[in-house]
Structure 1
Amino acid sequence: MKVFNKEQIIARLDLDLAVQHLEQGFIAFSQGKAQVPPVQAFAFPQANGDCCIKSAHVEGSDTFTVKVSTGFYDNPAKGLPSNDGLMMVISATTGQPIALLQDEGWLTCIRTALAGRIAARLLAPSKVNAIGILGTGTQARMQLEQLAAVTPCRKVVVWGRSEAALVDYSAFAEGLGYETEITRSVEGVARNANLIVCATPSRAPLLHSDWVQPGTHITAVGADAPGKQELDPVLVARANRIIVDSIYQCSHYGEASHALNAGLIGVHQLAELGALLEGRAPGRDNDRQITLADLTGVAVQDAQISSCALASLGM
């Protein structure tokens, strides 16, 4: 079994190829051509942390992947990253471990950011006036980096709980060529941006329906485990298109689950990203519609990003 560290993976991963792999994975998943066992989830409230174990095999692939991903959200105050983890790639023909990707959670973060990039490409309004970001952590940064590939907009409004973190994020965004406005008001983000990314570990709604202007696209990635929530369920119900990575997962957690549990929407209103990519589900029809991508993270993404990483590393 070969072992690759985070630096090796980052240096070699072909992001455009990764997008192709992820799109193929979403389509295979929606076609029922991927084995994705139930997620194992751990919660560590005393440490403000969580862990998930995900695994998947895409039909026709010579390998399958098992991934451990952790998020401990007080870590930055301790000088540690919020996210960590690893992926193990195993032969689907012999059962032998092929590679251990000691990516420290980076592959999980980048595959999530690339999913946001795919969703924005498919669902964002034709003219993005400003990008709104809720959050200042690793995922909030990666999402902004990846949006540069799908919109020419270079204005960003970012919300966070810490003034110091907002200043740091502003410097990061300006380094990417963005004109940046920082705010402690989520309403201020919603009223000034029509492409909003929610990337926090919040357990209570942050973004409310009354604040969101017609034509806005929202990508929500923070509610990736039970109990997490970033959107007002009324806002979810207001969306003209609700695109989810997995109908099953998003019916049990994620933003759609809260609206479902409140009786504000029905499961029939959810369409999977793979179906949208394949042309079996409608996307945005006009620039007055509100669109939502509810991305809880599907293990097929891990199988696809790990196979892309190995290809990029020459395996």
Structure 2
Amino acid sequence: MATVIRLKEIQAILPDIDVVAAMEEGFIQYSNGNTVVPPVGELLFEDPKGDAHIKYGYIKNDDYYVIKVASGFYDNAKLGIPSSQGLMLLFDQKTGVPKAVLLDEGYLTDIRTAAAGALAAKYFAPKKISAIGIIGTGIQAKLQLEYLQKYTPCKTVWIWGRTKDKAEKFAKELGPDFDIHIAETPAELAQHCNLIVTTTPSELALLKAADIQKGTHINAVGSDTEHKQELESVLLKKADIVVADSIPQSKSRGEIFRAVQDGAILEDKIIELGTAIQNPKLQRQNEDQITIVDLTGVAVQDIMITKAVYTAYLKK
């Protein structure tokens, strides 16, 4: 019988796992062709607005394969429940026997996404961070900032939310450890920050090319379908380095997809994250470069974090 691991147990296990290191290994395996990751399964909903993603795959010659279902329903806050929901299913790769059901309620998707943001910043953010800009006020916004602290001591943070009330509430949640500023617009935020993370489900570009100062690094996290867009396509043209977590996925979703569709960039400009982190020549070379990492979310991330949690659970 499959082991059932619930959210509270998962949350107790996670502090003992180096999730960023797990993501790094996963992206390397992926870019080196050592994984089987089919196209994303996707359900889009209109009333209420939301989406569900089915991501699945395996690392070759490994012990397990993983199927993940994760959703985002953006009116859930009105019901007093998180917008993110979901679960992870772990199977024996040699027999297909179910080994574990992780009832994580979408939490592991949030964590692995934040860890990927920290990994991207490790290799592409400028060495000296003047201020961190967070666009969005949800759980991912908070987790991105939390995980970035593993790689930068910067406590100066600018935030922008769709309403001032949400931004002020988010600022209070972040607490006194940060020097928080609330921007009236994404453009104002960009004027003060050289590390920016976008975490919204916007379908209209929030950051324009003219907004971005030289030397800025952007982790684009929110755009994970063909309809979402947080960065103006011309901004990717302006960037010196554009990185995809998955080049195949960038052909159907995310900021890169939109920029290619709009004719702003060519596909041959794109570097894959797992390739770049193995080659220093593909990483940031100076403090003036503009760099963008488009994080659409790849199944190998779910494989790595599910395996790590299950392995740690067995050792308890």
Q: Normalising TM by the smaller chain, what interval?
A: over 0.9
Structure 2 residue runs of 5 or longer lacking an equivalent are none
SS at match of 2:47: helix
1:172 shift after superposition: 1.9
SS at match of 1:231: coil
Show the 5 A alignment for 1:175-186. 175=176, 177-186=177-186
Is 1:302 aligned to 2:308, yes or no? no
Conserved in 2, the CA contact under 8 Å of 1:13 and 1:313? no
1:33 corresponds to which residue?
Answer: 34
Distance 1:103 1:15 in 2: 17
Distance 1:36 1:110 in 2: 20
1:125 shift after superposition: 0.6
Superposed structure 1 runs of 4+ greater than 3 Å apart: none
Conserved in 1, the CA contact under 8 Å of 2:216 and 2:291? yes
1:209 corresponds to which residue?
Answer: 209
2:45 corresponds to which residue?
Answer: 44
1:164 shift after superposition: 2.1
Conserved in 2, the CA contact under 8 Å of 1:275 and 1:281? no
Show the 5 A alignment for 1:89-108. 89-108=90-109
1:183 shift after superposition: 2.2
Is 1:244 aligned to 2:244, yes or no? yes
Alpha-carbon spacing, 1:309–1:56, altered in 2? closer, same or farther (3 Å): same
How big is each residue's C-alpha offset from its partner over 1:170-202, in whole Å with a ceiling of 9 and x where there is no partner? 112224x11101123111101011100000000
Distance 2:167 2:262 in 1: 34
Show the 5 A alignment for 1:75-224. 75-175=76-176, 177-224=177-224
2:292 corresponds to which residue?
Answer: 292
Distance 1:60 1:94 in 2: 13
Conserved in 1, the CA contact under 8 Å of 2:231 and 2:255? yes
The one-letter amino acid paired with 1:134 is: I
Q: TM-score, normalised by structure 2?
A: 0.97
Identity of aligned residues (%): 41
Distance 2:184 2:7 in 1: 33
Q: TM-score, normalised by structure 1?
A: 0.97
Structure 1 residue runs of 5 or longer lacking an equivalent are none
The one-letter amino acid paired with 2:117 is: G
1:60 shift after superposition: 2.2
How big is each residue's C-alpha offset from its partner over 1:84-116, in whole Å with a ceiling of 9 and x where there is no partner? 000000000111100000000000000000000
Q: Work out the number of aligned pairs and report it.
A: 314
SS at match of 2:18: helix
Distance 1:125 1:49 in 2: 35
Distance 1:15 1:204 in 2: 39
The one-letter amino acid paired with 1:51 is: A
